[in-house]
Structure formats: C-alpha cells, structure tokens
Amino acid sequence: MNKWEKLKEYVNRKPKGAVFSRKNLLFLIHKDPKYRTSSYGTTADNYLRCLIILGIIQRIDRGMYKVVHHIKKDLSTSELKTIAYGGYRKWFNDAKEEAQY
C-alpha cells in the first residue's frame, strides 16, 4: 500500500470530528514519528495541505488535525492536487465523500 492509500484509509477510518496528530500519521506511513523532512515537508505533509485546502480536514493546532469529511475511496493523488490547486476548487469539490441516502 502506498503513502496516499495509507493516509486515505487512516482518515476514512476516523469518525467525523475525530482529532489526530501528524506524529501518529507519520509513524503509520514511515514507521518513524520524527521522520526527517526537507524544507518542503514530507509527502504526507503535502497531502495534508491539499486536504486542508479542500476542507476535508481542519488544522486545529500545531500538528493536530480534525476530520471534517471523509475522502472519496477512488480519489487519486493527481486528482487531489488538480482539485486543490486547480482554478475550480471553489465551486466544484469532488474529493469529499458525501452521505449516501
């Protein structure tokens, strides 16, 4: 399982409103809670940034995040980045998993 799949599964397993730490997430992905990063952060940090931009997670404190929505199961990293950094994210956000009726 790649890093994106691990992160997506981790977030989707948490109930909406649950809080998680960056430290726990890095331990899950890299097996090292103090994973050495470049000035740009880790791959997981880049994914977290996209999820914050899309409103799927919310940063509540330094290194602490809250699950606001779940991530669509079939969302790829290229789609994630396109939606987050593309020009149409304000009116179209297809990354959130909406409730099924």
pLDDT in tens, 28-53: 887 766 666 655 567 888 999 999 99
In tens digits, the chain (101 residues) has pLDDT values of 788 999 999 999 999 999 999 988 888 887 766 666 655 567 888 999 999 999 999 999 999 999 999 999 999 998 888 888 876 655 556 677 665 54
What is the amino acid identity at position 70?
H
Beta carbons within 8 Å of 80's beta carbon, 6+ residues apart:
4, 47, 50, 51, 54, 95
For every residue of 45-80, DSSP letters joined together read HHHHHHHHHTTSEEEEETTEEEE-SEEPTT--HHHH
CA distance 68 to 44: 18
